[in-house]
Amino acid sequence: MEDIIWITVLLSAGIAVGVLTVRFLARSRGKDIYYDVLRIEDGRLITFYHGLCGTAEEIYALDEICVVRFFCRATKGNLTFMGEMQIVKKDGQKSRRYIYDGSTYEKKTVWRTSRALLLRTTKQLAEELALHGIRSEVDPLMYRQ
């Protein structure tokens, strides 16, 4: 009976160490990656959707993208702002709206994103897209005071 208990304890400890190791390795591949909403490499645009269940990636070829649109949302009472990015393909299909905030610009957790910080973040994303020949449109309401 003691042997079974010890085997169960050791097996549980081994599983716990394995899970913690995998989580550590996933985080150590680059802590800034967690804050990215997009990345461009090998002629592809890779977008990230960070949710409660983890991160989902979607990949688009650069030559199939027509335009990337940016929108602004404010919380009730204008406490914080968040941006939304949507990709429109040349065939007219639209992607989901990818949400970002000042954390994308600062590369650390930002609890309250001001309109100015959101505009800097959007400008940085639009410039990164322009370097690769991707046209972007920024919603004029983002500049409204």
* 57 in any annotated domain: no
Would you state the pLDDT for residue 131?
92
Q: Which of 117, 105, 97 is nearest to 49 (CA)?
A: 97
DSSP, res 13: H
CATH of residue 139? 3.10.20
**For the CA atoms of 78, 82, 88, 92, what is the dihedral angle to 10 degrees?**
-40
* 81 in any annotated domain: yes
Q: Quickly list H helices, the chain.
A: 2-28, 102-106, 115-131
Residues 86 and 16 grouped into a single domain: no
Mean pLDDT by runs of 10 across the 145 residues of the chain is 84 80 58 75 83 76 93 81 92 91 83 88 92 90 66
* 85 in any annotated domain: yes
Residues 68 and 139 grouped into a single domain: yes
Residues 124 and 68 grouped into a single domain: yes
**For the CA atoms of 54, 37, 45, 122, what is the dihedral angle to 10 degrees?**
170
Residues 73 and 13 grouped into a single domain: no
Sequence-distant (6+) residues with CB within 8 A of 70 are 83, 84, 85, 122, 125, 126, 136, 137, 138, 139, 142
What's the N-to-C CA distance of the chain in angstroms?
Answer: 71
Residues 21 and 75 grouped into a single domain: no
How many domains is the chain built from? 2
Would you state the pLDDT for residue 126?
93
Domain limits at 119?
A: 63-143
Residues 74 and 122 grouped into a single domain: yes
Q: Give the predicted TM-score (pTM) of the model.
A: 0.71
Q: Which of 48, 73, 66 is nearest to 58 (CA)?
A: 48
Residues 26 and 96 grouped into a single domain: no
Residues 137 and 75 grouped into a single domain: yes
* 47 in any annotated domain: no
